[in-house]
Amino acid sequence: MNYLVTGGSGFIGSHLIEQLLKNGHSVINIDNFDDFYDYKIKIRNTLESIGNYSDFEFSDKTSDLAHLSSITQSSNYKLYTEDIRDKNTLKKIFENHPIDLIIHLAALAGVRPSIERPLEYEEVNIKGTMNLWELCKEFNIRKFINASSSSVYGNNDKIPFAETDNVDRPISPYAATKRCVEVLGHVYHNLYNIDSIHLRFFTVYGPRQRPDLAIYKFTKLITEEKEVPFYGDGNTSRDYTYINDIIDGIIKSIIYLENNSDLYEIINLGESEVVSLNEMLSSLEATLKKSAIKKNLPMQPGDVLKTNADITKARTLIGYKPATNFQNGIKKFVEWFLRNDIQ
């Protein structure tokens, strides 16, 4: 099969492409290497995902991306460093390649930055996605998987969070854009028969995790014996989901989407195991055998108090079965971090 993956040089995307290539498929990766974090990390992700990681000689971003593009093109893998907001450039990619299914992972991420730059989040996350759907319509592509987020649930009173819960009260622009895309997905399904699955990811972690996310950030600060910003009283909690389980859920969603028609589905992908901020920090300290220097701070605007996935639908519909508990996942992440941190 021929898959187009947006955001394929990021954390989740690079793992997904690695698995798709191992499964014998062809992949087009569209990633604009946004400055949200160091582009060198995405270069490493890209090379690792295609099994071609070696000592890459870095100079400046423009030269490095040109070099990356030149050394990664193959018969079953193509990299395009384009922006999903540019529909005309995207159209050229669609014109030049057969595409069976799109897995759309690209987005401006992060709750707190979205409060500072809401219009940019709207432009990338909503308009960028609509550009892809418009091209699906034009090029007769009828299968689409979209990465949504547990943030759409906001401060939901009902635990665990189920796909049937009301999600009309997001508490950050990021969450609102993710919910908007889910709704628009139904529009394109209804009007143009584009079958879609919207996967609500719950706090994904593991090797290649973004350095701005809590587990990576805390690990780095603890190892460097620097202050760890600790927001609130430590009782906020997350349903942390190990990257391998997320990839398994995406692959199973692809198979389900390919084998069925007239689909519009929203599916939670979580671990269904809730871990508090206090517990997360303690697990890192125990694994690293080092104590954190905590800097207590007030809760941040836009942060939800708790996430907890009801994964009944995922288990029933696609056969999703998470296999990595939090303690084992943390050990695997720390092992990777100690070998690979380049920040």
**Strands 274-276, 237-239: pairing kind:** antiparallel
User: Is 46 in a helix, a strand, or coil?
Assistant: helix
The DSSP annotation for 311-322 comes to -HHHHHHH----
* DSSP character at residue 132: H
Angstrom distance (rounded) from CA 208 to CA 11: 5
Q: Name all domains of the chain by residue range, CATH numbers in brackets.
A: 2-202+242-272+308-322 (3.40.50.720)
- 124-179 residue pLDDT tens: 999 999 999 999 999 999 999 999 999 999 999 899 999 999 999 999 999 999 99
Tens-digit pLDDT profile for residues 199-229: 999 999 999 999 999 999 999 999 999 999 9
H-helix or E-strand spanning residue 259: helix 243-259
Q: What mean pLDDT is predicted for residues 60-83?
A: 92
| Rounded Cα gap, residues 66 and 149, in angstroms | 32
Q: What are the residue numbers of the active site? A: 174
Neighbours of 170 (CB within 10 A): 22
The 10s digit of each residue's pLDDT in 20-29 is 999 999 999 9
- Rounded CA gap, 68 and 10, in Å? 15
Residues 6+ apart with CB under 8 A from 237: 274, 275, 276, 277, 279, 305, 306, 307, 308
Percentage of the chain beyond pLDDT 90 is 86
| Bigger pLDDT: 73 vs 144 | 144
pLDDT at 343 over 60: no
Provide the token pair at 129: 């996605």
pLDDT class of 341 with cuts at 50, 70, 90: low
CA distances from 194 to 2, 184, 301, 318, 332 (A): 17, 11, 36, 19, 38
Helix, strand, or coil (residue 301): coil
Q: Is there a contact between 188 and 277 (Cβ–Cβ < 8 Å)?
A: no
Rounded to whole angstroms, the Cα distance separating 175 from 9 reads 22
Percentages (nearest 5) of helix, strand, coil residues in the chain = 45, 20, 35
The pLDDT value recorded for residue 301 is 82
pLDDT tens sequence across 242-298: 999 999 999 999 999 999 999 999 999 999 889 999 999 999 999 999 999 999 889
3-class secondary structure per residue, 207-223 = CCCCCCCHHHHHHHHHH
Average pLDDT score over residue span 67-87: 93
